[in-house]
């Protein structure tokens, strides 16, 4: 927001700015704005932070100073010691539990920097992080992910959902081992568990719905990801992963070196270097990259769009299916063993 001052009297400029704030977009309505002389005070909703920065330009000594005389606080802040057992923030080598029926963790999400030994988000745990679109209808400008360093991350218990609508965790540059046993239901616009960050991390996702680095502005790097038969996982375009073993539903938009489809259905609009389809799995190929080596059977390799694609070496094993209804797959070298089927245009 900006205004062009009608004059140089501070109180008049403040009054003009007050009117603009009160008539501003929804973000500015997160506070009640009042004025005393040339001082404007914004009072937010209890326990909800808002961010204001200010500046002034012009001739002379134009200034506009922002201060926070009373910072927001409350039970939803990760950086408030009183919200943790023992009245102290988690420290290096601690095991951190986000227990069932505790208040949502919404703010102060970047303040804890120590490396936890283990972080457990229990089934029945609350919302962690903020949705991309706030409940008041604007795109969220506050920190959305709980940013932590942890050696081990465990989410959910088998057969029991996490109750929070969303759980958003930033693993930063840590080589975290992640185990997901269940998730919540998510919202109409966001999946229930969202992970970003991680360096040389590993993940086992047994059940639930998970998005890893779903946004183009976020990234993640995993050496190994295993997707269970009860899981539905999306890997965003900025991910870099070495090996993926999947038995469930998987959407790939990124680069994967070794993809092993052992069951379920995998769709890829990204880049796969080496592919192995077995266990009656289905690989839907919806990109125009080159797969260096593909082994198929028992299972299906099918073209998912009309773009040209190349397999340098394709090995069809018993009960393999190659479905290329649009005739866009070029195979440089084909090796065959057992009984298989090929369907083209």
Task: Please report, in tens digits, the pLDDT of each residue of the chain (345 residues total).
Answer: 888 888 888 899 999 999 999 999 999 988 999 999 999 999 999 999 988 888 888 766 678 888 888 889 999 999 999 999 999 999 999 999 999 889 999 999 998 889 999 999 998 889 999 999 998 899 999 999 999 999 999 999 887 877 778 999 999 999 999 999 999 989 989 999 999 999 999 999 999 999 999 988 899 999 999 999 999 999 999 998 999 999 999 999 999 999 999 999 999 999 999 999 999 999 999 999 999 999 999 999 999 999 999 999 999 999 999 999 999 999 999 998 877 788 876
Predicted local confidence at residue 5, as pLDDT:
84
Residue 240 and residue 219 share a domain = yes
Predicted local confidence at residue 313, as pLDDT:
98
The reply to whether 13 falls in a domain is: yes
Residue 279 and residue 181 share a domain = no
Residue 249 and residue 280 share a domain = no
Of 253, 286, 314, the domain-final residue: 253
The reply to whether 260 falls in a domain is: no
Tokens of 151: 């050696």
Predicted local confidence at residue 59, as pLDDT:
67
Asked if 117 and 180 touch (Cβ cutoff 8 Å), the reply is: no
**End-to-end CA separation in angstroms for the chain:** 58
Q: 42-69, pLDDT tens digit by residue?
A: 999 999 998 888 888 876 667 888 888 8
Tokens of 85: 């057992």
Residue 232 and residue 95 share a domain = yes
Of 46, 72, 98, the domain-final residue: 72
Domains held by the chain: number: 3
Residue 219 and residue 97 share a domain = yes
The reply to whether 126 falls in a domain is: yes
The reply to whether 52 falls in a domain is: yes
The reply to whether 267 falls in a domain is: no
Asked if 169 and 129 touch (Cβ cutoff 8 Å), the reply is: yes
The reply to whether 262 falls in a domain is: no
Q: 116-149, pLDDT tens digit by residue?
A: 999 999 988 899 999 999 988 999 999 999 999 9
DSSP count for the chain of H helices, then E strands: 1, 24
Residue 207 and residue 66 share a domain = no
Tokens of 326: 């649009």
Residue 86 and residue 225 share a domain = yes
Residue with tokens 């009309």: 306
The reply to whether 259 falls in a domain is: no
Predicted local confidence at residue 51, as pLDDT:
87
- Distance separating alpha carbons of residues 276 and 293, to the nearest angstrom: 8
Q: Dihedral sign, CA of 246, 166, 93, 174?
A: positive
Residues contacting 131, CB < 8 A, separation 6+: 140, 144, 165, 166, 187, 189, 190
Residue 219 and residue 116 share a domain = yes
Residue 37 and residue 17 share a domain = yes
Of 253, 281, 310, the domain-final residue: 253
Tokens of 183: 């998730």
- Distance separating alpha carbons of residues 340 and 264, to the nearest angstrom: 19
The reply to whether 121 falls in a domain is: yes
Residue 94 and residue 211 share a domain = yes
Residue 193 and residue 106 share a domain = yes
Q: What is the pTM of this model?
A: 0.92
Q: Which domain holds residue 63?
A: 1-72
Residue 93 and residue 241 share a domain = yes
Predicted local confidence at residue 306, as pLDDT:
94
């Amino acid at each position: 927001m900006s205004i062009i001052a009608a004059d140089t009297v501070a109180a008049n400029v403040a009054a003009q700015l007050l009117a603009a704030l009160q008539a501003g977009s929804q973000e500015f309505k997160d506070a009640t704005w009042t004025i005393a002389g040339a001082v404007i005070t914004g009072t937010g909703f209890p326990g909800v932070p808002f961010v204001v920065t200010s500046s002034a330009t012009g001739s002379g000594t134009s200034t506009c100073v922002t201060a926070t005389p009373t910072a927001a606080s409350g039970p939803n802040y990760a950086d408030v010691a009183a919200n943790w057992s023992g009245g102290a923030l988690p420290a290096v080598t601690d095991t951190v539990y986000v227990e069932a029926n505790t208040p949502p963790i919404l703010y102060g999400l970047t303040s804890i920097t120590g490396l936890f030994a283990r972080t457990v988000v229990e089934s029945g745990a609350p919302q962690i992080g903020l949705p991309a679109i706030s409940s008041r209808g604007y795109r969220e400008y506050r920190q959305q992910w709980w940013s932590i360093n942890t050696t081990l991350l465990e989410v959910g218990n088998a057969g029991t959902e996490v109750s929070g609508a969303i759980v958003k965790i930033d693993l930063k540059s840590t080589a975290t081992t992640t185990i997901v046993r269940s998730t919540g239901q998510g919202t109409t616009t966001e999946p229930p568990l969202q992970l970003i960050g991680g360096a040389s991390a590993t993940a086992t996702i047994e059940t639930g719905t998970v998005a890893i680095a779903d946004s183009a502005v976020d990234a993640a790097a995993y050496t190994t990801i295993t997707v269970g038969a009860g899981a539905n996982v999306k890997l965003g375009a900025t991910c870099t992963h070495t090996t993926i073993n999947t038995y469930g539903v998987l959407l790939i938009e990124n680069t994967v070196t070794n993809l092993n489809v052992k069951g379920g259905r995998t769709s890829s609009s990204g880049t796969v270097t080496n592919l192995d389809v077995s266990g009656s799995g289905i690989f839907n190929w919806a990109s125009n990259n080159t797969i260096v080596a593909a082994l198929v059977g028992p299972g299906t390799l099918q073209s998912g769009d009309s773009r040209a694609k190349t397999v340098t070496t394709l090995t069809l094993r018993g009960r393999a299916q190659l479905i290329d209804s649009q005739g866009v797959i070029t195979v440089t070298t084909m090796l065959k063993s057992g009984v298989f089927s090929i369907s083209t245009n």
